[in-house]
Amino acid sequence: MIEKRTVSMAVEKEKGLLSPEIAESLKKFILYLSEKNFSSYTLRNYGQALTEFFSWGKWQSCREIGKEECRSYLYFLSKKPDLKNSSIRLRFAALRSFFKFYYQHQEQGKESPLSSLSLPKLYRTLPRYLSLEQIRALLDAPRQKWEKEKEKGTKSKWKEWQWKRDQAWLETLYGGGIRVGELCALKKKNFFPAELALLVKGKRKKERFCIIGEVATAAICDYLNVCPYESDFLFVSSRGKPLTPRFFQLALKEYLMIAGLDQSISPHKLRHTFATHLLEGGADLRSIQELLGHSHLSTTQIYTSVSAEHLRASYQRAHPRAQ
């Protein structure tokens, strides 16, 4: 079960704006989600979305909320120019989940006020990914940084094991298509070099074996051979502590700059790149689904659109009758 302070943080921040009854209902809901193994990110986002909703309405009880109140809130959100349809739908996903829980556990037999509410359409955009040339430049960036650091001699605060560590996690992100949260949680016991694989704990604590290939496996072994710290965790900081998602975000930004690439690219884009390159290389969609850890094939099918776009662009460039 998630720590009490994390549950508290998801609701307590705006508790003064909520009635005691609603605040208590939200706490019960967040605890219920934690028992169902929802991630701390989901708990935080759901808690924020729900406190925003109940603070906006200033209701004293959930029983006061009907379909008209929910429609009014949807109208309120739709008038915010900086709020995308996807963000609105995420907020209402939290509301749907909460009211389903509330009417099942506290007000049995009543219909949710969101049961017939129509939400704005979600226009799905194709995920961004790096070309093979770009990914090669990115994966070479830690070595380039180390070459410059060596020139500083004793003034450099960076050690050889650190560049090998960064080489290893970059190769792992691209070679295995894993999420940053999964990367942070990896332990040495999860690494199986003989099988070229990692045991990854994904969303809802579901475990899967993730193939990472020979290059990433060799990079991890090379790093572990020189890492000065004894830790249960696979990737550690300069103080021997587990690395955080923030570390990976900032480090990737630096390596993108060294590689001459767009620094707004997130670590998750390497997961998109992994899937797209597999598909373009001939892997079948079901295998990619398993490797990514997607529960539903429909989630993976977005990459078929990316591949189709790639083929269309290639045709336009190459065929004499394309124009």
As annotated, the active-site residues are 179, 203, 268, 271, 294, 303
**Cα separation, 245 vs 269, whole angstroms:** 14
**Cα separation, 229 vs 214, whole angstroms:** 24
Per-residue exposure over 100-138, b if at least 16 CB sit within 10 Å of its own CB, e if not: ebbbeeeeeeeebbbeeeeeeeeeeeebebbeeebbebb
Number of continuous H segments (helices) and E segments (strands) in the chain: 15, 3
Chain mean position to CA 17: 30
Cβ neighbors of 108 (< 8 A, separation 6 or more) are none
H-run or E-run covering 208: strand 207-211
Distances from the Cα of 27 to the Cα of 10, 45, 110, 121, 282, angstroms: 8, 14, 21, 31, 48
H-run or E-run covering 201: strand 197-201
Structure tokens at 145: 């940084």
**Cα separation, 275 vs 280, whole angstroms:** 9
Cβ neighbors of 294 (< 8 A, separation 6 or more) are 300
For tokens 């290059």, the residue is 215
